[in-house]
Structure 1
Amino acid sequence: MPRPRTPESDGPPPSEPATRPAHEPLRREDPRTVGRYRLTARLGQGGMGTVYLGRSRGERLVAVKVIQAELAADDTFRRRFDREIESARRVGGFHTAAVIDADAHGEPPWLATEYIPGPSLGDVLKRYGAMPTRTLHTLALGIAEALEGIHACGIIHRDLKPSNVIISTTGPRVIDFGIARSVDSTALTRTNMVIGTQGFLAPEQLVGAVSTPATDIYAFGMVLCHAAGAVPFAADETLDSALALLPATLAGVITRCVDHDPVRRPTPTEVLEQLTRNHLPSEDWLPPPVRTLVDLHNAPTALAP
């Protein structure tokens, strides 16, 4: 079985430059304003729509998610987006992104949140491969603390994955509550429709069972497996064989997180208690190339013409 790459042993892949622009320029078809916000750059695009870098009238930077016109025409989707806004407003704390403003009934619907400069964990892993142990520990602590706050609000994220974790100078931040739901809410999805992202779905999600906070814990364990390079490399390999690649200080808790039985998975608080016994705080938690990428995202952004 191949060993995972780490930034400490390999630099950026030869085919890529050492740095790249943190933001993409606006395209001709992109809006220039949404609500009271002036859009200056593209931050990313997903299944729901496009996320832009925006500025308030007071020059405050925000991330503005603008929903695709096709989805906006669907009343069920608008109700789902309205629920996303409600969920994101309820979740606070320094490991998530605060909601600044929103309009689920606008044309198009949009959501403005605190702008967190930094690449997603998904981008970092695609670019540099597996992370070293000290980085994994800080990621685990930050994401677990975010889940602790999210679950305390009665919210289940249901789509935790590397692309929904932002690597910032202040630590990891969990974003995107697009398919989150309250523990006691009624689902707005079609019958037999599986919600989430393949590879991070808990076994109970695959059979259509009700999601619980333990569902997020399974995804949390899988996020850390990916960040550690401990994922199956071939079709004939099992998750157990991949878990053998985990650092010894993390193997026990992550193995519990990806237990097939949700009852046996730990709570975020239990994860934090176990990890803090073995964690040595370090301000230098990011490998140098990843730190450079984060710094690039924090560089001043030119305004769009």
Structure 2
Amino acid sequence: MLTTRHGVRPLATGDLEAFLALAGQDPVVNVFADYRARTTHLEPRWLGGEMWGRFEGGELRSACHVGANLVPVQATAEDAAAFAERALTRGRTVSTIVGTQEAVEVFWNGVAAGWGKPRETRWNQPHLEIDTAPAVTPDPLVRRTTRNDMAELYPACVAMYTEEVGLSPEAGGGADLYRARVTQLMNRGWSFARFDDGRLVFKAEVACATPHAAQIQGVWVPRDRRGEGLAAAGMAAVVELVRAEVAPVVSLYVNEWNEPARGTYAKVGFRETARFATVMF
């Protein structure tokens, strides 16, 4: 049953096939929502929120993941405006809005008056992909992390997150939850690092993955080791490992102002395929 005049309603398990077909129109850009749908089967108790769908003539035309992260899926400006109208009826429960630039901008313009001032907005974030062998030699010392690495890995993850987001993941008593997330990625084989004499000097993780694509997060090198080529060789190793064992396409998105990171990814062979935007609370 449609719940608004714009044809928006929460999706359920019976909509999974239609949602996967929708996400499959651009399976790399939509990897996060695709992954969430596959792992939760669109059950709200597992989603920790809802997946909204917008229908036209009985066909699913766009969607919107609404959990801790709000992520439009294949949403035009009109779709994003319809999702914003629905979002205003429930108030803000999300900590981040992220997705393709136009959809995020239109959505934010629709909810800004009612959702309060964001902590930060990032309107130009190149979305990058690689589906070939890396263009630089992979670092042979990059490997999957294990529990024995936690003493070095966890502080590096906290440092990366704080540097990138501007807020510690341990703030407000979040240390246990964040440590659990780091451990979860490690247990899945999605955490990679290089160590020199026991010290972590490069790391990266797979944030989410489907049979089509994997999205990388948390790329980090300690400040005193930057400029040595560790990031390029390390990312090349991650690309090689992930493409061989996780998914055929590797993606990520990066802040436009982060010239060193963008240069590193270009050197490895990543190419821009879309523009993302992020609103953080």
Instruction: Please report the TM-score for the alignment, with normalisation by the length of structure 1.
Output: 0.26
- Structure with higher helix content: 2
Instruction: Please report the TM-score for the alignment, with normalisation by the length of structure 2.
Output: 0.28
Structure showing greater relative contact order (alpha-carbon pairs closer than 8 Å, 6 or more residues apart): 2
